[in-house]
Amino acid sequence: MSEAALRFERVTRTFGRKIAVDALDLSVERGTVLGMIGRNGAGKTTSLRLAIGTLFPDAGRIRVLGLDPETDAMQVRTRVSLLSEESHLYPWMTVREVLAFGAALHPRWDPKLAKSLVGRLELDLGQLVRTLSRGTKAKVALVLGVATRPDLLLLDDPTAGLDPLVRREVLRGVLDGVSDEGGAVVYASHLIHDVERVADRVAILDEGRLRLEDSLERLKADVRRVTAVFEGDAPGRVDIPGQLDAVSDGRVLHLVARGEVAQLESRARSLGAREVEIEPLSLEEILVACLRQRVEREVEHV
C-alpha cells in the first residue's frame, strides 16, 4: 500500500510531430484527489489514457498502484477506471443489461453500491441505451466506472456539457465510489469551480508540461494579486521572485505572484510603487495568470 496511486517520471508521448505530453513528472498519493486543469490540448486526456494503458509512452516511466500499465495491463484495468466525456455504451442494451454486463466482466463489482447509485441517480433499468439523454448516459457510465470500487479513478471531464443537477449527482457518485482504502482520483476538467471544490492538489498542464503542482489550499493561500500604483508610468518589464504574471497598464502594475503579503509588498515598493494592494485569488484566476504568461512569451518570440 506504500506505492503512489499514480506516478509519471519524465513521460513523453508524441502524435506525429505534435508533442502531446512532454517529459511530464506527476505523482498522485493514495487517498487524495488531484485536479488537473489546463487549456484544450494541454495533454490532460493523453495523460489519463497513458495512465490506464490505452496509450503507451514514447519515453519515461509510468507506475499505477506500483504496476506497469504496459506489462500488468489486466491488473491495472481491474483496479483503475476511466470516465470520459463520451461514454461508450452498447446502444441496443437496456440499462439493466449494461450493468449486468459490467458486473459479469468485473471481479470487483460491488452490487450494493451499484444498486444504491442506480436509485440515487434515478436510473430506469428497463430503458434502452440508445434512447437515453446525454446526462443519463453519463450517469450509467458513472455507475459502470465506480461500482468496481476502483483504487484509482480517472475522470476526463465526465460532466462537460451536463446540466448542473446531473453534474452534482455525478460528482457525488464519484466521491461515494472512491475506495475507502486509499482510493485516489485524478479529475481533469474545465469546470474549475468543481475542481476547486473536490481537489486536494492541483496540477496545471500546459503544452504537455507541468506548469504548477501544489496543494490547492497552499496555492490559494500563497498566490496573490498585487496591484501597484506608480507616480508616473508603471515599469513595463518586471521580474520579481515567485512571479506568475505581470501586466502593466498606465500607472498601474498588476502582478500575480507567490509570496507572503509583507514580502510582496516590499518588492512592489522597491520597484517604486506608491500604493500597493494585495488580494487573494481564486483557482480560475491563478490558472489564467499561469497561462497568460506563456501566451505573452510566445508573442515575444515572433
Partner 1 sequence: MTIEPLIEIDPTSPVALYLQISEQFRRLIALRALQPGDRLPTVRDLAVQVRVNRNTAARAIQHLESEGLVMTRVGRGTFVERSAVPVDRARRDRVVDRAIERLLVEARTVGLPLAELGERVARAVERLQRHGPPGEGSDGGKREQKK
Residues that bind partner 1 (CB under 8 A): 31-33, 168, 171-172, 175-176, 178, 180, 185, 193-194, 196-200, 217, 220-221, 260-262, 265, 275-284
Phi-psi region of 21 (alpha: psi -120 to 50; beta: other; left: phi over 0): beta
Pick from 181, 188, 106: which is nearest to 147 by CA? 106
Q: Which residues contact 11 (CB under 8 A, 6 or more apart)?
A: 21, 23, 24, 25, 26, 47, 50, 57, 59, 60, 61, 62
Sequential DSSP letters for 187-247: EE-S-HHHHHHH-SEEEEEETTEEEEEEEHHHHHHHEEEEEEE-SSPPPS----TTEEEEE
| Residue 264 C-beta: closest distance to partner 1, Å | 10
**CA 183/CA 81 separation, integer angstroms:** 11
| Other CB atoms within 10 A of residue 241 CB | 10
Q: Whose Cβ is closer to partner 1: residue 31's or residue 235's?
A: 31
Query: Residue 14 carries which side chain, given as an amino acid letter?
Result: T
| Residue 146 beta carbon to partner 1: minimum distance, rounded to whole angstroms | 12
Closer by beta carbon to partner 1, 31 or else 242: 31
Smallest distance from the beta carbon of 175 to partner 1, in angstroms?
A: 5
Nearer to partner 1, 7 or 167 (CB): 167
Q: Which residues contact 121 (CB under 8 A, 6 or more apart)?
A: 139, 142, 143, 169, 173
Q: How far is the CB of 194 from partner 1 (least distance, A)?
A: 8
One-letter identity of residue 116: S
Q: How far is the CB of 262 from partner 1 (least distance, A)?
A: 5
CB of 38 to partner 1, least distance (A): 18
Smaller CB distance to partner 1: residue 159 or 243? 159
Q: Residue 198 or 238: which CB sits closer to partner 1?
A: 198
The neighbour count for residue 71, using CB atoms within 10 Å, is: 10
Output 207 or 285, the one with its CB closest to partner 1: 285
Looking at the Cβ atoms of 62 and 199, the one nearer to partner 1 is 199
Instruction: In angstroms, give the least distance from the CB of 55 to partner 1.
Output: 27
Residues 6 or more apart whose CB falls under 8 angstroms from that of 273 comprise 228, 229, 230, 234, 253
